[in-house]
Amino acid sequence: MFMVLLVMAISSQAMTYGDHPAAKKFVDKMVDEHGFDRAYVQGLMNNAERKQSILDAIARPAEKVLTWGEYRDIFVTDRSTRQGIEFMQEHSDTLARAEKEFGVPAEIISAVIGVETRYGRNKGGYRVLDALATLGFDYEPRSQFFSKQLEEYLLLVKEQRFDALQVKGSYAGAMGFGQFIPSSYRHYAIDFDGDGVADIVNNPVDAIGSVANYFRAHGWKPGELVTTTAQVSSKYNLDVANKKLKPAHTVAELKQHGYQPTALVSEEAMATAMRLKGDKGVEFWLGLDNFYVITRYNHSRLYAMAVYHLSETLKQKNSM
Ligand SMILES: [Ca+2]
């Protein structure tokens, strides 16, 4: 009986990283390479908890591959549209300022934040410290990536004067309205309300400016098309569809392959051809340079399609 109780008492205590060999190396690295105080970093490791739910989440077998129609039905809904219009109205001045300064349309910024976190409703409930320590030290397939993100995180909290124990995010350590991982946060987050802090976790103004800044830094071209539907000839070349996300053909070349854009677009524009399964059958699309920029946020053509379609719906409804 006593033994059982003892075992239960031990197992109910969270496992922390203070004595983990990889965490010890990490402490050395932060001290040697970045001049951090050893006691501070060791204290964080002593406090960082191993979360089995995070390991379960990342190791989960890949979800059934969604079709474009299914993906669209998840992200482009009446609710996401209604909440998006609310977001756009509430932050209309900030969105207009971001659009003017960075050239990224208000509806694109809003759609990204909508798809990422339902306009800030689902920013994630894990401590970023726990998430990145768990994956950096206990998830071998990507330990290098996540321990690097943990390093970036500690640099970030120092720069922004956050409490490393407090910041929350997704199970993979992505933070705030736009779900920036620490390296993206350090490179692309900006202080857009001028209070001296780039706070994309709690401050929607900073978050809006930061998403716009990210897009501009990745090559967003103001006023250019994102994507267009295409009509295909009976002998269209299927081999060029759904290849690399980065546009590899000119529109003129894709026309040769049997893809005729339905929107007016320059023959010299670069594009990538897509064949997607929609709710009403197969759809063909050409993704242009700005489509590729959206995939720099999340490397998925369905993600970029969802952002684009939500943005178009928001633009339409917001002007009504
Ligand atoms: Ca700020």
Q: What is the pLDDT of residues 212-230, one digit of tens each?
A: 999 999 999 999 999 999 9
Beta strands 227-232 and 259-261 are: antiparallel
User: 44 C-alpha vs ligand 1 centroid, how far in Å?
Assistant: 26
Q: With beta carbons less than 8 A apart as the criterion, state whether 95 and 204 touch.
A: no
User: 94 C-alpha vs ligand 1 centroid, how far in Å?
Assistant: 12
Kindly indicate the confidence band of residue 187, based on its pLDDT and cuts at 50, 70 and 90: very high
Q: What is the mean pLDDT of the chain?
A: 95
| 78, 164, 223, 245, 292 from 308: Cα distances, Å | 16, 35, 14, 15, 11
- pLDDT for res 62: 64
- pLDDT for res 2: 53
Q: With beta carbons less than 8 A apart as the criterion, state whether 303 and 238 touch.
A: no
User: 202 C-alpha vs ligand 1 centroid, how far in Å?
Assistant: 9
Q: Which two tokens stand for residue 156?
A: 């970030």
Kindly indicate the confidence band of residue 14, based on its pLDDT and cuts at 50, 70 and 90: confident
Query: pLDDT of 56-83, one tens digit each?
Result: 999 887 667 899 999 999 999 999 999 9
Kindly indicate the confidence band of residue 196, based on its pLDDT and cuts at 50, 70 and 90: very high
SS3 label, residue 227 = strand
User: 167 C-alpha vs ligand 1 centroid, how far in Å?
Assistant: 16
Q: Average pLDDT in the 181-186 region?
A: 98
User: 205 C-alpha vs ligand 1 centroid, how far in Å?
Assistant: 7
Kindly indicate the confidence band of residue 5, based on its pLDDT and cuts at 50, 70 and 90: low
Kindly indicate the confidence band of residue 208, based on its pLDDT and cuts at 50, 70 and 90: very high
d(CA 131, CA 175): 11
Query: pLDDT of 120-178, one tens digit each?
Result: 999 999 999 999 999 999 999 999 999 999 999 999 999 999 999 999 999 999 999 99
Q: Average pLDDT in the 200-214 region?
A: 98
User: 90 C-alpha vs ligand 1 centroid, how far in Å?
Assistant: 17
Query: pLDDT of 92-129, one tens digit each?
Result: 999 999 999 999 999 999 999 999 999 999 999 999 99
Q: With beta carbons less than 8 A apart as the criterion, state whether 123 and 168 touch.
A: yes
- pLDDT for res 318: 87
Q: Average pLDDT in the 242-246 region?
A: 96
Comparison of pLDDT for 196 and 14, the residue scoring more: 196
- pLDDT for res 64: 72
Kindly indicate the confidence band of residue 320, based on its pLDDT and cuts at 50, 70 and 90: confident
User: In the predicted model, is pLDDT for residue 3 greater than 70?
Assistant: no
User: 88 C-alpha vs ligand 1 centroid, how far in Å?
Assistant: 19
User: In the predicted model, is pLDDT for residue 7 greater than 60?
Assistant: no
User: 151 C-alpha vs ligand 1 centroid, how far in Å?
Assistant: 23
Annotated catalytic residue within 49, 107, 116, 151: 116
- pLDDT for res 1: 52
Per DSSP (E only), the strands in the chain are 126-127, 168-169, 227-232, 249-250, 259-261, 270-278, 281-287
φ/ψ of 282, rounded to 5, equals: -75, 135
| 28, 51, 152, 190, 268 from 186: Cα distances, Å | 22, 25, 8, 9, 36
Is residue 116 flagged as an active site residue? yes
Going by C-alpha positions, the residue among 203, 205, 212 that lies closest to residue 297 is 212
User: 183 C-alpha vs ligand 1 centroid, how far in Å?
Assistant: 18
pTM assigned to the model: 0.93
Q: For the packed helices 52-59 and 128-138, what is the interaxial angle rounded to 10 degrees?
A: 60
